[in-house]
Amino acid sequence: MVLDVYGRLTLLIERINGQWRVLEVGDDGKRGLCEGVVIPAHLTEAEIPHYIDVLFHEAARPGASVRRVS
């Protein structure tokens, strides 16, 4: 799943061996491990956008949200 985080950050979130892995996607499409972000394994895919919103809420702008891109 790809999330747009307030129009400031794009995250690619994958499930690998029962764990969530978070990658930051740059403007050039390159991906890098987002080591500071850990998503608990028990969360469902549907719960992740809200979880990311809680983690990054200080970066939010008025009217911006965390939204699923794909």
Can you give the residue ranges of every domain in the chain? 7-41
CB atoms within 10 A of CB 57: 10
10-residue stretch averages of pLDDT, the chain, 70 residues long: 95 97 90 90 97 93 93
Tokens 């991906």 map to which residue? 31
Q: How far apart, in whole angstroms, are the C-alpha atoms of residue 70 and residue 54?
A: 20
Q: Is 68 helix (H, G, I), strand (E, B) or coil?
A: strand
Name the 3-class secondary structure at 1.
coil
